[in-house]
Structure 1
Amino acid sequence: MSEAPEFADLRQLLQENLEAFTHTLNSCFEQEWSVTPQQPDAWSTNHPVLSQLATAGLIVAFCPVDDAGYLIAIPESLPLPDWYRSPDETQSSRLQTLAVEWSYQVLPENFQGTDAAAAQAHDLATSISWSTPLDNAEVLEIQVSAAGEESPTGSMWLIGPVETPPSAHEVEERWDDVDDGYYEDHEDDYADTSQQSSGSSDDARAIVERARRLMNLNVKVSVRLAEMKIELSTLINLCPGTLLVFPKSCDDLLDLYVNNRLYAQGEAVKIGEKFGLKVNEIGTVKKRKSGVFTL
């Protein structure tokens, strides 16, 4: 098993980056909360926190190594906004940005930029059990208070290391398996419907399976700040200190290209000490200028 970062390292970084950690939380959920980490405690299968986490909420998972990671469990009683259960594209992007930015704020530098995901869980305690906390796992309560309030309104918990931190789709798939158990127990009730749709279901599964095989392909992604045409004489005269002014406002969105084709647009963000792009529009198509004459 690869060596995961120590829990003490995450706790120290959380304390050092507490302001940025809080800002990321508030930006995601549009709140004005303050957070206060408490003292860590050794994890156990009958830890008292499990009774508090026997509820729906969000799991934010960090996977710094292939076979170990950390979780932050956020119960919906924090309170989380109603949209977290069925987020639209923009809200889902905000949740994933939360996970990525938190990974930079709590993981040591040599582990940053690894897999991070946020997903809704029907039962946080069950999702944590699925993740299998290791023998040296610890838990840290992070109390959350509303603006101007001295008493905490809720808490979230940093837990780890765990053996199998879930990705967003794995959380959903495992709960789908639980839900499927209900239909297996009531198979006769749904027999007629399943027979009618068996042909189309087989075709759909085949399409999905072919699509999944494409998911491991690598594509080149690039971000373009701006572009323009210049005369060859200007190019030849370029030297250190030359200033080029592009016909693009600093407030304009940046272009995201996939395999040299425009795919999306977004705004530049700073994640830790790294450059990032927060996607605002997908499938962006540049509008052509209208002609001189219109019919």
Structure 2
Amino acid sequence: MADFTAKIKEQVVAACQVGKDEASEALSRALGSSMTLEVGEAGAYSAAVAQEEAGLAILLKVDLEAAVILIPESSGLLPDWYAAPDPTGESKLATLAQELGMLLLPEEFMPLDFKAGKIENIRAGLKKAGCGDASACVSLPLSGENGSGEALLVWPAPQGDAIFKSSAAPQQPTDTPKNDPKLNVEEKPKPAAATPPPPQRTGAADYHQLPNYAKSLLKIAVEVNVTLATKKMRISEITELGIGSIIQFDKSCEESIDLEVGEHRIAQGEAVKIGDKFGMRVTNVLLPEERFISIKGNRRVR
């Protein structure tokens, strides 16, 4: 695999062009407003192209390196909750990061990990992430119902995780007079509050929450057959068939019919008429056939 360096600008731009429509849909779902993503020019990264303002940072870890997507707050496209998301908001941002990583980076550089959250200063955050003269960037113009702006895709970011580290200076403890015993009482640290577990998903999985490779599998077209009845006949009987011949089946009209995919029965149902068309109403979904294989152990020889 090629190195994840600034030299792959053409590959990144090509991937963005292919995935921009699905990326627009992913952004619209996660951020709650319709928006469109376009692909601008690629070039060398410099601090001058990064905004000095707060925004959403999406970290995409690729092996030992990382890429960062940044959406400025001034675009008006970020919802109020993105700064302090609840568990539902965190899930939306995590899903968005995963989808954009699959859609905007070349296939050979699929991210292994994802993270998204607010940073107070985009330019300072990229500096902490190690983005400099050896990095490249692609402009991603965004427009939507609530505003417009320019997002950035920057890579490689050698210290990508550092982009979320706070730049606030730690508070210095106040001096306590040594001659006052009341003020020299050592306070025990309070136990940290337990972090609530993430909510468990119930019910069928949402199509939009599936990873990109799973969505691709679901788009594969397969032949579906409905079998009314079957019968074995001798070849001599088949050769005697002609126009107007009637074949009698042992199956009753009231019995269920089978739905098959790839010669495997997946459901049963009943025949229905929809206008002048024939249809099938599914009444029972069949589970995959279970196969048990006996494991023979070695016999002991006495």
Fold agreement, TM-score > 0.5:
yes
Question: What secondary structure sits across from 2:90 in the alignment?
Answer: helix
> Does structure 1 residue 69 correspond to structure 2 residue 46?
no
Task: Give the C-alpha shift of residue 153 in structure 1.
Answer: 1.9
Task: Give the C-alpha shift of residue 126 in structure 1.
Answer: 1.0
Q: Distance in 2 between matches of 1:160 and 1:87?
A: 26
Change (3 A) 1:196 1:78: farther
Q: 1:253 aligns with which of 178, 203, 207?
A: 203
Task: Give the C-alpha shift of residue 84 in structure 1.
Answer: 0.7
1:96 alignment counterpart: 94
1:4 alignment counterpart: 4
The one-character-per-residue Cα deviations of 1:146-170 (angstroms, maximum 9, x if unpaired) are: 25x9xx721111111121212xxx5
Change (3 A) 1:275 1:196: farther
Which residues of 2 match residues 102-113 of structure 1 at below 5 A?
102-113=100-111
Which residues of 2 match residues 1-295 of structure 1 at below 5 A?
3-4=3-4, 6-44=8-46, 47-50=47-50, 53-66=51-64, 68-79=65-76, 80-133=78-131, 135-146=133-144, 153-166=148-161, 171-172=163-164, 174-175=165-166, 178-181=167-170, 183-184=171-172, 187-188=173-174, 198-201=187-190, 204=191, 253-254=203-204, 266-267=205-206, 269-274=209-214
Change (3 A) 1:156 1:199: same
8 A contact 2:35–2:143 mirrored in 1: yes
Change (3 A) 1:144 1:275: closer
Consecutive unaligned residues in structure 2, runs of 5 or more: 196-200, 217-302
- Counterpart of 2:41 in structure 1: which amino acid? Q
Change (3 A) 1:275 1:16: closer
TM-score, normalised relative to structure 2: 0.58
Question: What secondary structure sits across from 2:33 in the alignment?
Answer: coil
Q: Distance in 2 between matches of 1:23 and 1:190?
A: 57
Q: Distance in 2 between matches of 1:9 and 1:132?
A: 22
How many equivalent residue pairs? Answer: 202
Task: Give the C-alpha shift of residue 8 in structure 1.
Answer: 2.5
- Counterpart of 1:188 in structure 2: which amino acid? T
Moved >6 Å (runs of 4+): 189-192, 194-197
The one-character-per-residue Cα deviations of 1:93-142 (angstroms, maximum 9, x if unpaired) are: 10110000111112233332511111111111111000112543112221
Question: What secondary structure sits across from 2:134 in the alignment?
Answer: strand
Percent of pairs with identical residues: 20
Compare CA radii of gyration and give the structure with the larger one: 2
Question: What secondary structure sits across from 1:105 in the alignment?
Answer: helix
- Counterpart of 2:67 in structure 1: which amino acid? Y
8 A contact 1:84–1:120 mirrored in 2: yes
8 A contact 2:128–2:163 mirrored in 1: no
CA RMSD of aligned residues (A): 3.3
- Counterpart of 2:4 in structure 1: which amino acid? A
TM-score, normalised relative to structure 1: 0.60
Q: Distance in 1 between matches of 2:128 and 2:121?
A: 11
More helix by share: 1
